[in-house]
Amino acid sequence: MHASSYCWQQKILHWVSALVILWVLLSGFFLAFAVTDDWLRYQLANFNVALGTLYIPVFLLRCWFRVGCRQPSSFHTSGFQPLLACGVHLALYGATAWVLLSGVLMMSRRVELFGGWGFGPLIEDAVWQGRWAQWHLFGNGLLAALVAVHVLAVVVHEFSGRRVLRRMC
């Protein structure tokens, strides 16, 4: 039996995730390609690292509710579209997990969480930190592409009369 919409916890976690992921992706690409001021680069990078680190338990909670709550039934009853939708959603979860893991493992300095608790690098070897940084960059590109596909699918569904946003609001 399927639910008619997502449970309230899934809805809150979805929109918190959307805000964090969109912010970190957009500001990260802005940092990589547009910021020339060193002070702004430092501040924005520190903020993103702290935000991403604090998002890890939220993401784990979201995974827990993904597994533990009933999912709404698909708008598509046959064909490849339900499998495609499931695959893209699982890929979004996988890419997010990869970006979070690689982000923690690539750190070469102490991570400060908004002036409070922090932790040092988990890997001391600069070569491995560099590898994880490359894998992190790849993961961000993949995650950005998957987010774009996800948003495009929502727009297509909404314009074709399948009100997918209503189930997540």
Contact present, 110 and 99 (Cβ < 8 Å): no
H or E segment at 112? strand 111-112
Domains with residue ranges and CATH for the chain: 8-168 (1.20.950.20)
pTM of the predicted model as reported, rounded to 2 decimal places: 0.88
The secondary structure of residue 3, as a DSSP letter, is: B
CA distance 28 to 22: 10
State the virtual CA torsion across 4, 10, 14, 17 in degrees, nearest 10.
-170
Distance (Å) of CA 35 to CA 21, 44, 132, 151: 19, 10, 23, 26
Successive 10-residue mean pLDDT values, the chain, 169 residues: 75 95 94 88 90 95 89 67 87 97 93 80 94 96 96 90 81
What per-residue confidence (pLDDT) applies to 1? Answer: 43
Number of Cβ atoms within 10 Å of the Cβ of 158: 13
CA distance 120 to 55: 18
Burial (Cβ within 10 Å: 0-12, 13-18, ≥19) of residue 131: middle
Burial (Cβ within 10 Å: 0-12, 13-18, ≥19) of residue 156: exposed
